[in-house]
Structure 1
Amino acid sequence: MRHRFRPAALVAALCATLLGFAGPAGAVMADSIPITGRGWGHGRGMGQWGSYGYALAGWNSAQILDHYYGGTRASVVGVTGYAPRGNIRVKISNLDGTTTPNSGSPLLSADGQDLQSSATGGQSFGSIRVRYDGSQFRVTTYTGACGTGSVLSNDVAVGTGAVNVWNTANAAGSNAEPVRAAGVRAKLVNVCNWAGYTGLNVNQNYPHYFRGTFSIVYLPGIGTRTVNDLPMELYLRGVVPRESPAFWGSNGGQAALEAQAVAARSYAYSGMVAGWPGAGGTFDTCDTESCQVYRGAAEGAPGGTWVPAEFDTTDTAIASTANAVRVLNSTWNGQFGSIARTEFSSSTGGWTAGGTFPAVVDQGDATPGNTNQTWSTTVNRSTIEAIYSGGRGQLLDLCVVGRNGLGADGGRVTTVRMTFVGGTVNEAGDDFRWQLGLKSDWFSTPCGVGRYIDRVAQIFTGQTAGPSTANAWTSAVQSGNRAGFTYSLAVSDAWAGYEIDQLYQRVFGRPADAQGRAYWVGVLANGARLEDVALWFYSGDEYWAKHGSTATGFVNALYQDLLHRQADASGRNYWVGMLQSGSLGRVGVTAGFYASIESRRDRVGSLFQRVLGRAPDAGGHAYWAGELPRLGDMWLAAYLAASDEAFSRYSAP
């Protein structure tokens, strides 16, 4: 049941009571907490969407790289003071630590009977299963692909040394022909997937084609480790299109793909120099977002078909920047001009994060198509409580209390403060991001929104908001729609009942009787204005009788209750005369008091004091007093309560 709210001026007699409140000690946050943010990823170094935006603006790859990787310069492998190996070893992460594979399906395969292994004494086969039995490796080989055909050797013990596998049609693993060319896939090594395994590609149960060779080793405490060994430039062909969309090259963004090739090459080489933590000397990089995403050359698909994982645009970008890297203009690891660890991420949100490379504005990030420059999501309050409460009870507030100062809203979050019933917890912004699965550490939370909603609800309805109101309005208030919230309160059924209760107390000095309250709430709900109801209260028989049933007593009471002062003689005589002569009735006299400039100025001042805790400035006082007959007191109260000033006042602890 709702009633209409019409601008008018007959409500301010209630302001002193209506707008006083005692803020709640602490309101639990909404069940679903909205969070807004910018960018996707860590933001260090190059932004991939930003590089695309700059490429579309006409920048070449050197300009893009110079922009993002300050403190570095262009170089090529071989003149950097470091001569890396020609091949890179890539850990296939989702096979790490398993008996390979523990389902019994073969691991490595070829389209023909062209595989050989260091463990099979020169025998060729179509596919091989490798497992570790706790003390040594055992291999089973088949004539056909992925475990089909006849068994050639069955679970043969081959010792503890690494099991190397290669395709005899490309024994060195260096074939560089495009994967689309006829016969090329027959020269590659396949990883056979199985049900439930989606680590390498979305086409589970189908083979996945890789260039190079494979090694399977066993490490105590880890288990088996599967490593793809191949030339750097071929490795990049499986990386660049996974990090930056290949179609960018067809849309005018080829320079972005070239920049991605250089960044990926430098990142990989720098890892080879530094050594990867926990590698045990067995690999140089991994195949996931923790390193660089790598998915080989092609993926099998239903019906015996396949889809390429390498593309002409990215192959061209790699070839046109062959061996190009970025090197530091400083000493690192005891050496000047070392290859830079050129990190990159999808979207910076408009500013890079800084760190090894100076933070820079990223105007390219705003390119059309980047859906992550700004984003929004929701997090369940219960999730935060489960991770961080530690027995402190429910979450009362979630506030960003530290930022890096770079970009909108103050930049990336350095510290988040969570207030629970039983205490507070601080967390680093990036750690909070990872725990909650946010896209970046550049985000905003509804800090103080719960307090604001509760306290403003108290102003308009005499009670805190409650879970349903908090859940309904938290997102809107955080996004800036405070006026929608305050107006909804000003026309709510709860507001109607509260106003009637206050009218009874203010006008008659008594609580509302149940029958009268229900009647007047119904009158409001059916479309009457609050000022109409107030007019009937002040001009009615009960108020008249309360003040002696005389014109003089009635007028004196109106001066006290509506103008908050003693009646002056001339004013009293005027209004008493109007009543006694019959020129105006009690309704007309009451309306005249409300319409006076004195009443309007008094009501405006009272609204400012009660909502904002201060008097209006002279200009604002005069302006709002003039507007009040058109807008109405409750509209002005809703307007003030939705202001930035009110939000700061009511959201503060």
Structure 2
Amino acid sequence: MRNVAPLIGCCAALWPANALAGPVTIAGRGWGHGVGMSQWGARGFAEHGWSYRRILGHYYPGTELRREPGIDVRVLIAEGRRTVVVGSKAPFRVRDARGRTRTLGAGRHPLHGRLTVIPGAAPLSLDGAGYRGRLVLHGGTVVNVLPLERYLRGVVPWEMPHRWNPEALKTQAVAARSYALATLKRGRPFDLFADTRDQVYGGIRAESDATNAAIGATAGQVLTYAGRPALTYYFSTSGGRTAAAIDVLPWAPRVPYLVSVADPYDGLSPHHAWRLTFTRPRLGQLLHLPGVQRIELQSNASGRVAEVWVRWRGGTTSIAGRTFQSELGLPSTWFRVAGAKTTTAAGTAAPPAPARLSGWILVLASDPSGDSARAAARRLGADVLRSDDYPGLIPGYWVVYRGPFASRPAATGAAYPRRLSP
């Protein structure tokens, strides 16, 4: 049961005079945490002619696309098993902890202990599901060890429909590859979970020709920031604008590429906008409260609800926006409650990126001061233009041309490097 505070007389002034009447309607946008790449938005950009490179640059500003050497990854595909049944359509080998190897015939075999199972002429299977690479068994867990590119074959089609635009699939392939490298769990018996704790991995049964082609077309390509793989969060639907990690994922690193950006083509998604209605007794039951009379919301700078205040007869409590979302089963934290007051908390600026040059232009984050280009040029001591004036550039940014800056630190201190060409 959540801790609640008794309502005292002075608190009444904090609440609007009108209590909620009848059923409570909650209208919202998007599906998922909202940070990083919107998958439906990426599809929309692709269908409007954007290349995967350009799409990635939009959702992860300031990152750089590089080619990284291939590695093997260790994926946890089963845990807490008393018996593990491994099979194959061809003979395969089993090596124990002492290095002794034996060959098992084609078919399914129950296995126990600490073993490494090595495929022969056909892939291995666990409970009938096929996996590329080898399987490592230990203490009731099964870890699939395979090349990163083969791992992606089992991830991309389960994270994005394989019938979507090829450029969207390439975008997903790079995002999935980058996320995997950024979240490797060194020092543990495995690197990645096979479910939503990391990325959903289905092995061979998930593979499709279209997603295999997208993975091949982007082979080895990884988004990086400051020389390291970028933490490329992604999700289903933004509702029109993504969220900054600092607003909704308190555990995420404070990096300048996980910021809120416009998502104009996200409207293709069936979850772009949604509406749910609850009776007040049901709302109280879901929130584990004795009742619901009034609700007040506080949203963050990304538009998502950060805090919910609920009042009932005799008490009041605050609930984190993500907890409110989870307990009511809402698709996202971007919502409003009909008849409830909503206030917006002051935003927190993203940390500045390193002052370094790459490519021919520097892009500065939008300046809320509303400066003209001429005023910005005077303030920065540099040649400044607006990106809005140039077709193909993302609007809402200053463009600073590389050259002799009157004050180089002023021009680069808040800038991040980025190529904007497709």
TM-score (norm 1): 0.45
Q: Higher helix proportion, which one?
A: 1
Residue in 2 that maps onto 1:64: 55
Deviations 1:280-301 (A, max 9, x none): 6111111112211110112xxx
> How far off its partner does 1:45 sit?
0.6
The 2-side partners of 1:36 and 1:109 are apart by 49
Secondary structure class of the residue paired with 1:88: strand
Tell whether 2:227 aligns with 1:337. Answer: yes
- In structure 2, the residue corresponding to 1:75 is in which secondary structure? strand
| 8 Å contact kept, 1:163–1:215 | yes
| Structure 1 unmatched ranges of 5 or more | 1-23, 79-84, 101-105, 132-136, 138-161, 170-186, 193-206, 219-223, 299-308, 329-335, 450-653
1:264 aligns with 2:180: no
**Are 1:445 and 2:316 an aligned pair?**
no
In structure 2, distance between residues paired with 1:396 and 1:441: 21
- Which of 189, 192, 198 is the equivalent residue of 2:124? 189
Residue of structure 2 in register with 1:110 after alignment: 88
State the one-letter code of the partner of 2:72. Answer: N
Aligned partners of 1:26 and 1:396 also within 8 Å: no
Cα 1:322–1:385 change in 2 (3 A) is same
Give 3-state SS (helix, strand or coil) of 1:65's partner.
helix
> What are the equivalent positions in structure 2 for 1:170-319 lying under 5 Å apart?
187-192=122-127, 207-218=128-139, 224-248=140-164, 253-272=165-184, 275=185, 281-298=188-205, 309-319=206-216
Partner of 1:37: 28
Are the counterparts in 2 of residues 34 and 378 from structure 1 also a CA contact under 8 Å? yes
Per-residue Cα deviation, 1:28-60 (whole angstroms, up to 9, x for no partner) = 764x64322111111111100000000000000
Are residues 287 and 382 of structure 1, via their aligned partners in 2, closer, same or farther at CA, if it must alter by over 3 Å? farther
1:327 positional shift:
0.7
Deviations 1:591-629 (A, max 9, x none): xxxxxxxxxxxxxxxxxxxxxxxxxxxxxxxxxxxxxxx
Instruction: Decide whether aligned partners of structure 1 residues 77 and 27 sit closer, same or farther in structure 2, where only a CA change above 3 A counts.
Output: same
Equivalent-residue separation in structure 2 for 1:89 and 1:244 (angstroms):
22
Identity, % of aligned pairs?
35
Gaps of 5+ in 2: 1-15, 246-254, 342-422
Q: Which amino acid aligns with 2:308?
A: V
CA apart distance, 1:404? 2.2
Superposed displacement of residue 382, structure 1: 4.7
Residues 73-93 of structure 1 deviation map (CA, whole Å, 9 limit, x = unaligned)? 111114xxxxxx71111111x
Equivalent residues in 2 for 1:400-415 (5 A)? 400=297, 402-406=298-302, 411-415=303-307
Change (3 A) 1:267 1:261: same
Contact 1:88–1:231 (Cα < 8 Å) also in 2: yes
Please report how far the alpha carbon of residue 405 of structure 1 lies from its aligned counterpart in structure 2 after TM superposition.
3.8
For 1:49 and 1:312, how far apart are their aligned partners in 2? 21
**Does the aligned pair in 2 maintain the 1:388–1:425 contact within 8 Å?**
no
Which residues of 2 match residues 508-547 of structure 1 at below 5 A? none
Structure number with the higher strand fraction is 2
Contact 1:86 1:231 in 2 (8 A): yes
Q: In structure 2, what is the Cα distance between the partners aligned to 1:382 and 1:88? A: 49
Task: Report the number of matched residues.
Answer: 311
| Cα distance, 1:292–1:123 mapped onto 2, change above 3 Å | same
Asked whether the 8 Å contact 2:41–2:266 carries over to 1, the reply is: yes
Q: Counterparts of 2:61 and 2:238 in 1: how far apart (Å)? A: 16
Offset at 1:26?
8.5
Give 1:380 deviation, angstroms. Answer: 5.7
Change (3 A) 1:378 1:230: farther
Q: What displacement does 1:375 show?
A: 1.3
**1:226 counterpart SS class:** strand
Partner of 1:373: 272
1:469-618 correspondence to structure 2 within 5 Å: none
CA offset at residue 71 of structure 1? 2.1
Q: What's the CA shift for 1:398?
A: 2.9
| Contact preservation (8 Å) 2:287, 2:327 | no
CA offsets, 1:565-594, max 9 Å, x none? Answer: xxxxxxxxxxxxxxxxxxxxxxxxxxxxxx
Check the 8 A contact 2:35/2:259 in 1, yes or no.
Answer: no
Counterparts of 1:73 and 1:121 in 2: how far apart (Å)? 45
The reply to whether residue 50 of structure 1 matches residue 41 of structure 2 is: yes
The corresponding residue for 1:429 is 321
1:534-583, Cα deviation, whole Å (9 max, x unpaired) = xxxxxxxxxxxxxxxxxxxxxxxxxxxxxxxxxxxxxxxxxxxxxxxxxx
Structure 1 residue 271, shift from structure 2 partner: 1.1
**One-letter code aligned to 2:73:** I
Q: Secondary structure at the match of 1:371?
A: coil
- Write the deviation string for residues 259-316 of structure 1: whole angstroms up to 9, x where unpaired: 11000000001112xx27xxx6111111112211110112xxxxxxxxxx21111111
- Counterpart among 40, 48, 71 of residue 86 in structure 1: 71
Matches of 1:52 and 1:28 in 2, distance apart?
A: 39
Given residue 232 of structure 1, which amino acid in structure 2 is its aligned partner? Answer: L
Kindly report which structure 2 residues correspond to 1:315-326, keeping only aligned pairs within 5 A, or say none.
Answer: 315-326=212-223
Tell me, yes or no, if the aligned pair for 2:41 and 2:237 is still in contact at 8 Å. yes
Task: Work out whether residues 265 and 325 of structure 1, in 8 Å CA contact, stay in contact via their aligned partners in 2.
Answer: yes
3-state secondary structure, aligned to 2:244: coil
* Mapped contact 2:304–2:334 kept (Cα < 8 A): yes
Q: Is the 8 A contact 1:36 1:445 kept in 2?
A: yes
Q: TM-score, normalised by structure 2?
A: 0.69
Give the AA of the match of 2:75: V
Q: RMSD across aligned C-alpha pairs, in angstroms?
A: 2.4
Q: Which amino acid aligns with 2:265?
A: G
Question: Kindly tell me: are residues 354 and 26 of structure 1, through their superposed partners in 2, closer, same or farther at Cα, counting changes over 3 Å?
Answer: closer
Q: Distance between the aligned counterparts of 1:48 and 1:296, measured in 2?
A: 21
